[in-house]
Structure 1
Amino acid sequence: MAWNISDKELGALVDQMTPEEKVTLVTGSGLWRTAANYRLNIPELLMTDGTYGVRYSIEQIDGPQDSDSQLAAFLSVVNADLSRGVEGAFGSTRPATCFPNGSSFACSWDVDLAHALGEALADECQAFGVNLLLGPGINIRRTPLAGRSYEYYSEDPVLTGEIAAAVINGMQKNGVGASLKHFACNNSEVQRTTMSSVVEERALREIYLAGFERAIRKSNPWTVMSSYNRLNDVQAAENHWLLTQVLRDEWGYDGVVVSDWHGIKDRVASMNAGNDLDMPESAARRQELLEAVGDGRVSTTVLDLSCLRILKLIRTARNGARRNVAVDFKKHHALAQRMALESIVLLKNEGNLLPLDGSKPRKIAVVGAAAREPVIQGSGCATTRPTEVDIPLDEIRRLAPGSTVTFNSASDFAAGAAIEQAALADVDAADVVLFFGNTEVGYDGEGSDRTDLNLHDGQDDLINRLSKRNRRFVAILATPDAVAMPWVDQTAAVLAMFFGGQGAGRAVAELLFGVHNPCGKLTVTFPVRLEDTPGFLTYPGENNRHVYSEGIHVGYRSYDKRKLAPLFPFGFGLSYTTFDYSNVETDAASITATSNLKVSFDVTNTGARAGKEIVQVYARPHNPRLIRPIRELKGFAKVELQPGETRRVDITIEARDLRYYDNDYRTWLLDAGKLTIEVAASSRDIRLERSIDVEAPALPSSILTVESQPSTVLEQEYARKRFGLFLKEQLDLDEEETDKLLEYCGGSFLGIYNTVAWVAGDKISKDVMAAFLDGLNKEMGRAIGKAA
């Protein structure tokens, strides 16, 4: 039922509530609902999990709602074993479309497709009576071992934010709310509710919070979910800096902050920090809050504001609800297939082994249990019971009707197995071997990180063994994130499916046989070995603290800075056709803090097949004031081209996306000087370049104090001139004497005051010098403000 009520009436409802009613409103009811208030006719909301599908548990939502039953149901989700299947893990769940998981469909780099996913998720939520879907999850994929990597999109915040905003807009424009999660730095499942993610502020701002800010600015999700972990030693759900200073005061977010399930440890601290809704229902935490309201530790003003936010959410969601929605699950299955087609990444295709010609009879050896029992999703709260599942083996046989297609599982090749020799004979005789590999099913997922980058159960050794017998070998991998490939030089082709959802079986078959052209590209860097990953030395942390030692150099930023060759770079993916880039232009020769820059260039399909190319635009600073990555992604587009066709591509870059965060100034800054715009096919395949000027205040490398080394004061022309004038006036020098003193200062390793005092004695006091430098800092700070 719609709930048509004005803002004034909502405020009046809050005024009419007793303290008990207010505390009840900001506390969940059972596992998946907000609390209804029958006295005041306030309806409830229903929410459920799902970042790539709607997980509607019949027992949990429609079953007993007493606390014991609800706790048991919650723990069954957290500790679910997906190796027993979705039903075994979660009991009776309604079938819903299992779309490609986040790590998969983000490889499409397709914001329109992400919007279509949001629309489909909204339709299924409407049909189930769900008002709020708990997703998307957008934490940065800092390490490929992270248990929830399969839900998350990328190691880059620009791509992450764009995909997330599109999904959210697709959902919310169709009447179902999103819950952007997990805020923030939920980058590992190791001791996830007690581990503190220790991240310096610049890395937080530029990497880990940037995707959230972008998604919020472009889609305004109805809710944001605080994460389980501590952030810089403060529980995320109780972190005032994160939830109020950054999220609300700086970003202007006015929606509801909801806790992750049982993520609040101190309800009083969480309410004062800005965490509105405590989920799921906890009688103990509700009583804690009620007592704190009674004795003034939580003000009525704070509580009333949270109540008002929740009432506005209820109104928005109830008014967006649509009755009698009939979902076309066949249509959604087709969408799942299309998403998988757009997302699967062709990583290697030696000698153009692919695509196969299904019209030519041949012997095809299919190996691996995942060809018959496909691995389509990760394990955890997002796990969805699919409406149907395409079987790769069946789809291969459908597309190669005249071929002999054999099948063997990995166990058939075990030494001494009765079928070993027959299985090896199938491989030896095959015109092509299609090996379906995967990581361990049901282990890596919510609650546990992977322990290595290997495929499961000896599959790496088996690939190595079989590919030596038959070099026309294709490895097709279902994994949550990057894996190592010690056998890659022996295989002719590699396809990365990630967790491709219920339609991936048909999608991969149609790519293998050239019905469609691969067009996905990686959203993370694949390392050669685990030791190459940026955070290797400090992962997974110790003594409940996980130091993010690589700072801003996450993913490709680190590989570029260390000049370390990845197995496959960020943004990489092959096609059955080729593309040429030319004629790059920018619509301006310079950019300021308040302007945009349009980058234009031509892309031509130079091959014989229609295809799609994902073009990427990076920015490379020439002489950065602070340490910065070599290059960073700033925009992208997916371009569909017929053979021989050329299209002009325009990508607009906002100046705000060219900034970096300065911890000392505590603000975002632009680097003055030259900046190169790079047009690329991947982070390691730069095709075109164009340099522009950045018009911004030039600043010293740090805020100036009497202990600053003189070179810091003299490195920037404005500061140098002002300091020279200061010395001239204080010491009564002429121009030549001033220049000589500045030259002398430039070679000193002492602090600026001690350097000058060595020459001038006590003619300038430390207090006078400090006052001058403080004034100079303020002058340059005002210049920053004017530029912004």
Structure 2
Amino acid sequence: MTQAPSATEAAVEAALARLDLDMKTRLLAGQDRWSLPPLPEIGLKSLVMSDGPIGVRGVRWSADDPSIALPSPTALAATWDPGLAHRAGVLLAQEARCKGVHVLLAPTVNLHRSPLGGRHFECYSEDPYLTGVIGSAYVKGVQSGGVGTTVKHFVANDAETDRFTVDNVISARALRELYLAPFEAIVENAHPWGIMTAYNAVNGTTMSEHHYLVNEVLRGEWGFDGFNVSDWTAARSTVGAINGGLDVAMPGPRTVYGEALAQAVRDGKVTEATVDKAVRNVLRLAVRVGALEGAEPAVTELPDTVNGVELAREIARRSFVLVKNDDNALPLKPDGTVALIGAAARDARVLGGGSAAVFPDRTVSPLDGLTEALPEGTLSHAVGADPNTELMPADKGFALRAVCRGADGTVLATSPLPNGQIHWSFADLPEGVSFDVLREVELTGTFTPRLTGPHTLGIKGKGAFRLAVGGITYYDGVQAPDEDDPFEGFFSSPQPRAQVELAAGQPVEISLTHIVALGDYLREDITITLAHQEPRRDPDELIAEAVEVARAADTAIVVVATTERVESEGFDRTDLRLPGRQDDLVRAVAAVNPNTVVVVNSGSPVELPWRDEVAAVLLSWFPGQEGGAALADVLTGAREPGGRLPTTWGSLTGAPVTQVVPVNGRLAYSEDVFIGYRAWDKAGRTPAYPFGHGLGYTDWTYESVAVDGDVATVRVRNSGDRPGREVVQVYLSPVEDDADRPARWLAGFAAVEAGPGETVEAVIDIPRRAFEVWDEAADSWSFVKGSYNVKAGRSIADRGITVTVDV
């Protein structure tokens, strides 16, 4: 049940009338990394925000406060299922309430403009329509649980290189038809309670001060009535930000708002009426999430409880995209022997790097999942080739705790650590500890190696450190940060500081001590990591061992993966190759076992130069904490792979849009409206696997398509021998060639299910916007009349069936 808007507005106005200028401006500035200050004078609680989008971190970025880890956003989009996205949102609202979080900093609905974008795993698709549909369902799901969302990053944060300063130069048409389109759809269909503005500038104006896009388009044209929060540290000007429509500057306690904003009003640089508009938006959020006493929240009846483990597994298996399956290599044959190969099969990568990361309390690897699913004695494993060439956070074999000490060495608190990472701000220090007295943090405990040989240990973070192993000090010095990047401590590579010969199974004492210095880039913040790398074996020997294991099995399954240094927030990619010797590994295994299946564990496209040499290729994205269990479901045939590609997969040499590095601070979107499949079509190039592609374990025959008004009805038949699910896709293309428009574009889709031999109908709405273009001269949408081919098929490249309509 939702509250009448008039009641919300009355509560907002009543609360606003009780605030003086200093209280108003204080409310618009973060009090710490994650929250706004309470105002007990009006019964306002502190509003707490938390990163997403695959889980709810809470205010503590620590593995001792675990969260459900769902599959990556690219995986969620690959399901082509808004109902599943809605359920994911409901679960995340449930998680948020448990962690005391009012607002989830998600979803990310920037587009896959170029395959080199480092953060694409956190976005949905190259297509604005698919992004808008999935994003709308996600937002509705979260907010149905009484938790707000902040749709981000508004707008055109489509790459990471120089993201704090880059000026993206984009035509009005490309902005409207591509980059603004998902935001517009979500505002119209899901009514989000928040928007996050991006670091970058658009056409000369930084987004945290962009009066036109925020005040005139977002709020004016679209009617958005939620709050607008800066990306963290993005707000740089008091007057520019408040007049540009930015409501909240994060993080705190020192921002361009608060006292600075109050003084700007007193100096006549900003009107108090402008401040009042921002305060209304924050108070409206407070009412909606139940943080203002005496006002009924937007949601008074919560959804039913969701089992997070089960949903994570369901989304994963529904997201897996089977792009190749020669001679029905999958599902696996009963009672056959299986060689599972790859470092990522043992140590799964289930999520991307950066602010999207959470800490699940369990992770099911492919080796775990298949060991559980297959008969005993039928599964063998070999590492083959390890893509991790850098140190990773200390994890397996480490038993650690954090010891906090004062200036005189007194122990203030001791806290268990599930791994070697600490991300502490004011709000999440151990009980009894404050930055006023904290002077030293020691990560200490034991490490029991699983391999004998030289182990490398290192440090990520800035400041003074001392690293000791077995009582011997290997490093005592200061790591200097890159002052140009305020998030260097989060996203930089660990620095190797010790190499120690250790014996498998023999515990050794570990100690990493950090001297706390106040005044860090986030003012009061500790971000440090104890990192580790196992002994490196000769890659040729590892590949040779894997070949022998594969030779002896009926089926070889090779799991290949990217690493955190390939796909993460904070930097873009330089190529699309798999790291390390993984391509060599696949080729070597395929040469001795014709029944080789490759599972690709990446959040966004990678090149697959061996794809013609293997029997099957299954894309598993970053599959979340239950990825290994879901993979076993699909490989054994207990479940069908349900995914379809939300973005085009091809080589870097074939990709039409590859420029992500600014020139003199500016990045020209010179391709205009031609990105993704639109660009591949325009260039006349054929990708490895087209947008929308995906196979199942049954076959489908498209029998007819009819269009009546704005509805397409597509009749399909399951022509295979087992039940299945099909994603029926509808594309529009003008009958008359038009060089200024894409050759074809997604207009709608729907999923159907049927048993063997059954016929079903997919009923698909075709929105008016599918026939419109942005007229730059008129500064408005223009409906383009004429004849259109309406094609229904299994992907954008599938011939399917077509009917011509005149509009």
What interval of TM-score do these two structures reach, taking the shorter chain for normalisation? Answer: 0.7 to 0.9
Identify which of 123, 128, 136 aligns with 1:152.
123
Once the two structures are TM-superposed, the CA of residue 480 in structure 1 deviates from its matched residue by 1.6
Q: Which residue of 648, 661, 677 maps to 1:556?
A: 677
Q: Secondary structure at the match of 1:530?
A: coil
Write out per-residue CA displacement over residues 286-335 of structure 1, whole angstroms, 9 at most, x where no aligned residue. 23322221122211111111111111110111154999999978x21111
Q: How does 1:323-722 map to 2 (within 5 A)?
A: 331-358=307-334, 360=335, 362-411=336-385, 421-527=544-650, 529-536=651-658, 538-588=659-709, 597-623=710-736, 627-694=740-807
Residue 131 of structure 1 aligns with an amino acid whose one-letter code is H
Structure 2: distance between partners of 1:458 and 1:422: 14
1:135 to 106, 114, 129: 106
Kept in 2: contact 1:127–1:327 (CA 8 A) = no
The TM-score, its normalising length taken from structure 1, stands at 0.79
Cα distance change of structure 1 residues 332 and 321 upon mapping to structure 2, 3 Å threshold: farther
Greater strand fraction, Structure 1 or Structure 2:
2
Gaps in structure 1 of 5+ consecutive residues:
59-89, 589-596, 695-788
The yes-or-no answer on 1:304 pairing with 2:276 is yes
Match of 1:738 in 2: none
Please state whether the residue corresponding to 1:298 is helix, strand or coil.
coil
Q: CA deviation at 1:36?
A: 1.3
Q: Aligned match of 2:145 in 174, 185, 202?
A: 174
Opposite residue 336 of structure 1, the aligned amino acid is A
Q: Are 2:590 and 2:614, in contact at CA under 8 Å, matched by a contact in 1? A: yes
Unaligned stretches of 5+ in structure 2? 291-295, 387-535
The aligned counterpart of 2:48 is 46
1:277 lines up with 2:277 in the alignment: no
Of structures 1 and 2, the one with the larger relative CO (CA 8 A, separation 6+) is: 2
Aligned pairs, number: 649
Would you say 1:7 and 2:120 are equivalent positions? no
Shift, 1:137, TM fit: 0.7
The percentage of counterpart residues that share the same residue type is 35
Aligned counterparts of 1:19 and 1:422: Cα–Cα separation in 2:
71
**Deviation, structure 1 residue 416:** 7.8
Instruction: Give the conservation status (yes or no) of the 8 Å contact 2:321–2:641.
Output: yes
Structural RMSD (CA)? 2.3
Q: Secondary structure at the match of 2:587?
A: helix
SS at match of 2:17: helix
SS in 1 for 2:58: coil
Q: Does residue 228 of the first structure (1) align with residue 199 of the second (2)?
A: yes
The answer as to whether partners of 2:312 and 2:626 remain within 8 angstroms in 1 is yes
Please say if 1:185 is aligned against 2:159. Answer: no
- Return 459-468 or 283-292, whichever deviates more: 283-292
Q: Structure 1 pair 505/323, CA: closer, same or farther in 2 (3 Å)? A: farther
Post-superposition CA distance 1:344-387 (Å, at most 9, x none): 000111111111123x2x33211111111111000111111113
Residue 67 of structure 2 is aligned to residue 96 of structure 1: yes
Letter in 2 for 1:298: V
The answer to whether the Cα contact below 8 Å between 1:617 and 1:679 also exists between their aligned partners in 2 is yes
For residues 419 and 147 of structure 1, the distance between their equivalents in structure 2, rounded to whole angstroms, comes to 29
For the pair shown, the structure with the greater C-alpha radius of gyration is: 1
Give deviations 1:102-127, integer Å, cap 9, x for gaps.
01121000011011001111111111
2:493 corresponding residue in structure 1? none
Query: 1:546-565, CA deviations, whole angstroms, 9 ceiling, x for partnerless residues?
Result: 11111101100111122210
AA partner of residue 666 (structure 2) = R
CA distance in 2, matches of 1:324, 1:94: 27
Alpha carbons of structure 1 residues 449 and 420: separation in structure 2 relative to 1, 3 Å: closer
Could you tell me how far 1:424 is from its partner in structure 2?
Answer: 2.8
Q: Which amino acid aligns with 1:342?
A: R
Equivalent residue, structure 1, for 2:91: 120
Judged with a 3 Å threshold, the aligned counterparts in structure 2 of structure 1 residues 568 and 93 are, in CA distance, closer, same or farther, namely same
SS of the residue aligned with 1:33?
coil
**Aligned residues of 1:57 and 1:94 also touching (Cα < 8 A):** no
Distance 1:651 1:284, change over 3 A: closer
SS at match of 2:199: coil
Equivalent position of 1:733 in the other structure? none
* Deviation digits for residues 507-544 of structure 1 (CA, Å, limit 9, x no counterpart): 111111111111210000011x21222222x3322211
Contact kept? 2:146, 2:302, Cα under 8 Å? no
Change (3 A) 1:303 1:624: farther
1:700-733 Cα deviation digits (max 9, x unpaired): xxxxxxxxxxxxxxxxxxxxxxxxxxxxxxxxxx
Aligned residue number for residue 498 of structure 2:
none
Aligned residue identity for 1:612: R
Distance of 2:785 and 2:62 partners within structure 1: 59
CA contact (8 A) 2:713 2:764 kept: yes
Moved more, 113-122 or 666-675: 666-675
Does the CA-based 8 Å contact 2:249-2:255 persist in structure 1? no
CA deviation after TM superposition for structure 1 residue 93, in Å = 4.7
- 1:284 Cα offset (Å): 4.8
| CA–CA distance in structure 2, aligned partners of residues 627 and 246 of structure 1 | 24
SS of the aligned residue for 2:262 comes to helix
2:342 maps to a residue whose letter is: G
Secondary structure, counterpart of 2:317 in structure 1: helix
In the alignment, structure 1 residue 253 sits paired with structure 2 residue 224: yes
TM superposition shift of 1:411: 4.2
Q: Distance in 1 between matches of 2:798 and 2:749?
A: 14
Give the secondary structure class of the aligned counterpart of 2:800.
strand
Q: Match of 2:736, SS?
A: coil
1:398 shift after superposition? 2.7
Residue 615 of structure 1, CA deviation: 0.8
Equivalent pair of 2:58/2:100 in contact (CA under 8 Å): no
Could you state the TM-score of these two structures normalised by the residue count of structure 2?
0.77
Q: 1:25 aligns with which of 24, 27, 48?
A: 27
Aligned position for 1:713: none
Offset, 1:197? 1.4
Q: 1:9 to 1:280 in 2, by over 3 A?
A: same
Residue type at the aligned position of 1:582: E
